[in-house]
């Protein structure tokens, strides 16, 4: 919590406390005088007396509890020290009040503590102690609230930092096997068709440039994201002479869509990683449709049933990907993951407005 806010809360508390004290004194003074013979309010006597009797012990109790006692309270093994300190500080509040009342009485600025002997001294001392204890309790509550609020903010900041690191990992992630295989395939292709090899090399360069620069923005145009996806698919097609093993349907009716960068690619990487029917048609099917109110992404891949199947998007794990989507699109997305009949399908729908 900002220091300015803490200071403002303290000022508000003491203003309210003084206001209540003044009201209390006025009611006590009015109740003591005859209604038929009004007299001027003794503001000076009231201010001096309240300063010694109620304000100084209250301030001492509040801030000693706020600073010293609260640190002991946070240590479970020192509960005895906490309660001992509470008693000592409460008695100190009483002593401060007694000393101030006595000094003020010496200068004829307040009633004496022993005006009626011990019958007045003991109750006044007890009242001063209780007042200091109550204000000290408010000091503990105030410090506890500030500490609790700071802990919440710290946890939120740590959570956000952790998510930022994770999201940075997602955005900078590129499958090392994909990069290694693509470079090797281009290297082989150079001997066969230098023009085509240069074309693929430019596509790889565009992918790397997109990952280095475009992903620094929170949002990118959906057209740029799709262009990235298309180049990624073209590079993956080098792996097999069967160019029909991937089908991609793109229907962009609204080009002003802005989405988080590299939102789709982890699922697409996942599909290429686990698709094993590269010689058949439509082993991988990708659909992206952008309308006025929603954007649909669907990616499915066929896999071999008898092999161990544990698909994790982009090698980072579905948990991380789901966390990112929930963070970026709270109440503005539907995500469905289906594994049925040796086909793994991910369907993600983004909405312009909350559901």
Task: Report how far residue 178's alpha carbon sits from residue 239's, in angstroms, rounded to the nearest whole number.
Answer: 10
Residues 6+ apart with CB under 8 A from 151: none
Confidence of residue 163 (pLDDT cuts 50, 70, 90): low
pLDDT of amino acid 314: 43
Least confident of 23-27, 134-138, 215-219, 266-270: 23-27
Confidence of residue 39 (pLDDT cuts 50, 70, 90): very low
C-beta separation of 306 from 317 below 8 A: no
pLDDT of amino acid 348: 94
Residue 19 has pLDDT above 60, yes or no: yes
Q: Which of 123, 116, 119 is nearest to 98 (CA)?
A: 123
Angle among Cα 235, 237, 241 to the nearest 5 degrees reads 140
Express each pLDDT in 98-130 by its tens digit: 887 777 777 776 666 665 555 667 887 888 899
Query: What is the arithmetic mean of pLDDT over 171-175?
Result: 55
Confidence of residue 347 (pLDDT cuts 50, 70, 90): very high
Residue 12 has pLDDT above 90, yes or no: yes
Q: Which residues pair with 161 in a beta bridge?
A: none
Residue 293 has pLDDT above 70, yes or no: yes
C-beta separation of 323 from 308 below 8 A: no
């Amino acid at each position: 919590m900002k220091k300015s806010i803490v200071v403002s809360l303290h000022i508000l508390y003491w203003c309210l406390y003084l206001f209540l004290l003044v009201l209390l004194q006025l009611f006590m003074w009015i109740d003591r005088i005859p209604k038929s013979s009004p007299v001027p309010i003794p503001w000076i006597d009231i201010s001096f007396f309240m300063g010694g009797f109620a304000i100084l012990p209250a301030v001492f109790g509040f801030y000693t509890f706020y600073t010293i006692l609260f640190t002991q309270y946070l240590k479970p093994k020192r509960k005895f020290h906490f309660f001992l300190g509470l008693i000592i500080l409460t008695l100190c509040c009483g002593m401060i009040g007694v000393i101030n009342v006595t000094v003020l009485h010496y200068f004829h600025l307040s009633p004496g503590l022993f005006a009626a002997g011990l019958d007045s001294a003991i109750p006044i001392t007890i009242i001063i102690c209780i007042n200091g204890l109550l204000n000290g309790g408010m000091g503990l509550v105030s410090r506890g609230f500030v500490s609790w609020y700071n802990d919440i903010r710290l946890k939120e900041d740590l959570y956000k930092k952790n998510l930022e690191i994770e999201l940075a990992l997602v955005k900078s992630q590129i499958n090392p096997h994909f990069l290694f295989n693509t470079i090797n395939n281009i290297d082989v292709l150079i001997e066969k068709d230098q023009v085509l090899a240069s074309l693929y090399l430019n596509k790889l360069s565009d992918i790397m440039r997109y990952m280095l620069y475009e992903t620094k923005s929170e949002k990118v145009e959906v057209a740029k994201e799709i262009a990235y996806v298309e180049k990624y698919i073209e590079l993956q097609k080098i792996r097999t002479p069967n160019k029909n093993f991937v089908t991609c349907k793109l229907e962009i009716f609204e080009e002003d869509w802005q989405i988080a960068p590299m939102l789709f690619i982890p699922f697409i990487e996942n599909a290429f990683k686990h698709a094993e029917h590269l010689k058949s048609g439509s082993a991988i099917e990708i659909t992206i449709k952008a309308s006025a109110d929603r954007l649909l992404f669907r990616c499915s891949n066929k896999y071999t049933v008898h092999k161990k199947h544990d698909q994790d998007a982009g090698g980072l794990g579905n948990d991380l990907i789901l966390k990112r989507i929930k963070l970026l699109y709270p109440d503005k997305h539907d995500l469905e993951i289906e594994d049925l009949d040796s086909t793994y399908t991910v369907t993600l729908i983004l909405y312009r407005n909350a559901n």
